[in-house]
Structure 1
Amino acid sequence: MKRTTVWLTTAAALAGLAACTSSGSSDRSGKETPTASAPASLPALRSAEHATERARSARVRSTTVMGTQLSLTADGVLAWRDGLSGALTIHYTGGTAAETMRDLGVTSMEARYLSDAYYARMGDTFAAKTGGKHWLRYAYDDLKTLGGGADLADQMRSTTPGQSVRLLLDSDDVRELGQETVDGQRTTHYAGTVDVQDVTDSELRQRLQAADVTAETVDIWINEKNLLVKKVEKTSTANGRVTQTAHYGDYGVKVAVQKPPAADTTDFKTLLSQSGTNSS
Structure 2
Amino acid sequence: MKVKHTAAWVGFTAAALVATSACGADSVKQAAEAVDKTDAIMAALARATDRTEQLGSAEVKVSTDLGTGTPIAMDGTYSWGDGMAYDVHMDTAAAQMQAVQDDPKIHCLLVDGVYYYDVDPQASGPLKGKEWMKVDASAVFGERGAASMNAGGNPTASLKGLKYASDVEDLGSQTVNGQKATHYRAVIDQKHMGSFKEAYTGDGSLLNQMTGGADTITMDVWLGAKDLPVRLVQGMGKMKVTMDFTKFGATATVKAPPAAETADMTEALKEAQGQ
- The answer on 1:267 being equivalent to 2:259 is no
Deviation at 1:108, TM superposition (A): 2.7
- Aligned residue identity for 2:111: L
Instruction: State whether residues 20 and 155 of structure 1, in contact with CA within 8 Å, keep that contact through their aligned partners in structure 2.
Output: no
Partner of 2:76: 76
Q: Which aligned segments of 4 or more residues in structure 1 are displaced greater than 6 angstroms?
A: none
- Where in structure 2 are the equivalents of 1:1-280 lying within 5 Å? 3-20=3-20, 38-68=38-68, 71-94=71-94, 98-99=95-96, 101-105=97-101, 107-115=104-112, 117-124=114-121, 126=122, 129=125, 130-140=127-137, 143-144=138-139, 148=142, 150-151=144-145, 154-155=148-149, 158-199=152-193, 202-210=194-202, 211=208, 212-236=213-237, 241-269=238-266
CA offsets 1:133-190 (integer angstroms, 9 cap, x no match)? 01012234xx25x674653564466432223212212332212111222222221111
Q: 1:270 to 1:153 in 2, by over 3 A?
A: same
Unaligned runs of 5+ in 2: 23-35, 203-207
Distance in 1, Cα, partners of 2:248 & 2:62: 16
Corresponding position of 2:33: none
Calculate percent identity across the aligned residue pairs: 26
Pairwise CA RMSD of aligned residues?
Answer: 3.1
The one-character-per-residue Cα deviations of 1:112-147 (angstroms, maximum 9, x if unpaired) are 2222522111234x576421101012234xx25x67
**More off after superposition, 250-259 vs 101-110:** 101-110
SS in 2 for 1:102: coil
Q: Is the 8 A contact 1:57 1:80 kept in 2?
A: yes
- Report if the CA contact (8 A) 1:38-1:174 is conserved: no
Query: Equivalents in 1 of 2:266, 2:93: separation in Å?
Result: 26
Give the number of aligned pairs. 248
Contact 2:3 2:268 in 1 (8 A): no
- What CA distance in whole angstroms lies between the structure 1 residues aligned with 2:92 and 2:147? 21
| Structure 2 CA distance for partners of 1:21 and 1:52, relative to 1, 3 Å | closer
Change (3 A) 1:149 1:73: farther
Distance of 1:234 and 1:120 partners within structure 2: 25
- Deviation at residue 244 of structure 1 after TM alignment: 0.5
Q: Do the aligned residues in 2 keep the contact of 1:170 with 1:194 (CA within 8 Å)?
A: no
Aligned-partner Cα distance in 2 for 1:2–1:76: 28
1:16 to 1:116, Cα distance in 2 relative to 1, 3 A = closer
The secondary structure found in structure 2 opposite 1:103 is: coil
What amino acid is aligned across from residue 234 of structure 1 in structure 2? G
Distance in 2 (CA, whole Å) between partners of 1:2 and 1:153 is 29
Report the CA distance shift for 1:116/1:156 in structure 2 as closer, same or farther (over 3 A): closer
**Matched residues in 2 for 1:56 and 1:127: separation?**
41
Cα deviation, residue 48, structure 1:
0.8
Asked whether the equivalents of residues 117 and 134 of structure 2 are also in contact (C-alpha less than 8 Å), the reply is yes
Given the superposition, is the C-alpha separation of residues 10 and 205 from structure 1 closer, same or farther in structure 2, using an over 3 Å criterion? Answer: closer
Give 5+ residue unaligned stretches, structure 1. 23-35
Aligned-residue offset at 1:38: 4.5
Q: Report if the CA contact (8 A) 2:21-2:158 is conserved.
A: no
Q: Do the aligned partners of 1:38 and 1:172 also contact (CA within 8 Å) in 2?
A: no
AA in 2 matched with 1:103: A
Separation (CA, whole Å) in 2 of partners of 1:5 and 1:86: 24
Larger Rg: 1
